[in-house]
Structure 1
């Protein structure tokens, strides 16, 4: 499984399972598509990881099949810019899978709809909650002895706002003040004063504070005063920070470059597509290739043996060769048969 927030993600709104789901793909790509379709959401989608768990195909074959699935409209790599509740930001690359074949226009609309989604991490590995949070109950929660009043909340917010006047290096934005207000309220509920908060956040500041919000959060947590009765409090359950997608861009499924720097066509950038489309094979090419390879497997051993006999002046027993002629022809035939079946051009015979 991938880290939380990453891994395979189903696009949803798909057709039911059916035999023709991947009938338009080559045999190997069909097998890889069925394999990916049965993976759990959140499973890592790198070609190296998939090759480790797939019983038949290695890294190169898996990477080629992934490119074919991207080109066919089943896979997309999308980069999402996430802004969290604590005002921190990050880029996350998502891997979206669709059992139903999708057009480039459908994927473009899907990426556009991702903008603005709530992606607060869920407890499941590799998942993210995309629906809006449920409404809070209207009943009043039970009042605790150390729960601050509205006046205490106002005093905590005011103490954070006044930091700008106390020391410009720790000037907090409105979002920082709202985010840090619960910590400041806990300080006041434990007997601290607004001046104590100011001193804790301004004493011994470095010459430059590049992230005042993060710096203040770290100090408020590290210097939290003890409770009034000096009894340790039970650890509060950790809650994931709310996060929202603020920007979405398409990424190349091969080199991971995004559309800001390269042109992406059907999920693959132009440079990678040149290599991908270097030797495209049509159905007629595949049928012709099978015929040529079958003919090669029948006649090559005879003609190659005659050629070697002319070169050596007479018959040469197989015991004097590193590999018997029939075995070399068989290996070449079997290799080209598999390559053609998977849409790759056959290799030249090199006796």
Structure 2
């Protein structure tokens, strides 16, 4: 393992996606990827961090799939690396209450893995998972020089548009195409916030040849725009509001709890006494 090439951590384009509503979810306000973004991590966790960071939204994040899709580590090693990534502030496994069962009056939970290239504090994760998203001051990020040019922060809609070509080459869009379609795609995702459902709606049943991907996607964005759904009511009772909270799962054993009750993403029973805690944002 001493000669491991970390560049081999890049996933293949065929990495499996999770079921709708599940899988990898990014977090906002991350610093741009650098060669030393994960230099503070042990080698195994560093390798897996590079692999996960390159995965698209909604990629399957269970240990079995991650072990199968990269060549160096088996399931046990992957689970240990995920624990290290959780303890160092890069990852949280979360149960989220889904709206999919609301019409039938049932409760449905989906399971997501939130990923942050930037190591975050427990306080940041608690605020983020409670719906209070803190803004990142880029100049305070470790290893980032203030004079270094910053990449523009792209919206979820823009990122979803850029990934259509990865799912089907007939829908490869240019940067100008994505920018032109970003506003209407943002409206689409405001009504149906699941990017995987967005991708399925854009790529299902394509003709053999798409002569103009930009015009084709623009037409589908208009024709398949979801209906507006009732929005969260801020006047609901505390008991009702509690049902909308995210529950963090212990990365090791899966026991659920509020974000503040599972620091470093590990419950008390699974959290080692000598957790490494590097500087976080």
TM range (shorter): 0.5 to 0.7
Counterpart mapping for 1:206-225 below 5 A: none
Match of 2:28 among 7, 12, 18: 12
Per the alignment, in what secondary structure is the counterpart of residue 245 of structure 2? strand
Closer, same or farther: CA 53–254 of 1 in aligned 2, 3 Å? same
Q: Could you say what the CA RMSD is over the residues aligned between the two structures, in angstroms?
A: 3.4
Query: Does the 8 Å contact 1:250/1:267 carry over to 2?
Result: yes
Structure number with greater Rg is 1
TM-score normalised by the chain length of structure 1 = 0.42
Aligned match for 1:266, one of 237, 249, 264:
264
Name the counterpart of 1:90. Answer: 108
Given candidates 253, 256, 261, the residue that maps to 2:254 is 256
Instruction: Tell whether the 8 Å contact from 1:8 to 1:41 is kept in structure 2 after alignment.
Output: yes
> Which residues in structure 2 correspond to 1:260-339 (within 5 Å)?
263-273=261-271, 276-277=272-273
Report whether the alignment pairs 1:109 with 2:89: no
**How far is 1:257 from its partner?**
1.0
Aligned partner (choices 100, 104, 108) of residue 118 of structure 2: 100
Q: Deviations over 1:50-93 (max 9, x none)?
A: 00001111111111100000000000012222345514431222
Question: Structure 2 CA distance, aligned partners of 1:71 and 1:25?
Answer: 11
- Report the counterpart of residue 304 of structure 1 in structure 2: none
Instruction: Output the CA distance in 1 between the equivalents of 2:126 and 2:66.
Output: 26
Q: How does 1:48-197 map to 2 (within 5 A)?
A: 48-84=64-100, 86=103, 87-113=105-131, 120-122=192-194, 124=196
Unaligned runs of 5+ in 1: 128-235, 282-351
- Whether the 8 Å CA contact 2:129–2:245 is kept in 1: the answer is no
Corresponding residue pairs, total: 169
Q: How much has 1:280 moved relative to structure 2?
A: 7.0
Cα distance between partner residues in 2 of 1:72 and 1:66: 10
Report the CA distance between 1:120 and its aligned residue: 3.3
Q: How far off is 1:124 after superposition? A: 2.3
Deviates more, 1:78-87 or 1:251-260: 78-87
More helix by share: 1
> C-alpha distance in 1, partners of 2:198/2:263?
27
Query: Is the partner of 2:37 in helix, strand or coil?
Result: helix
CA contact (8 A) 1:48 1:59 kept: yes
User: The residue matched to 2:36 in structure 1 has which SS?
Assistant: helix
In 1, are the aligned partners of 2:21 and 2:196 still within 8 Å (CA)? no
Q: Give me the whole-angstrom Cα distance separating, in 2, the residues matched to 1:77 and 1:6.
A: 11
Cα distance change of structure 1 residues 33 and 126 upon mapping to structure 2, 3 Å threshold: farther
The answer on whether the counterparts of 1:43 and 1:126 sit within 8 Å (CA) in structure 2 is no
Task: Return 1-10 or 81-90, whichever deviates more.
Answer: 81-90
1:38 has 2:58 as partner: no
**Runs of 4+ displaced beyond 6 Å:** none
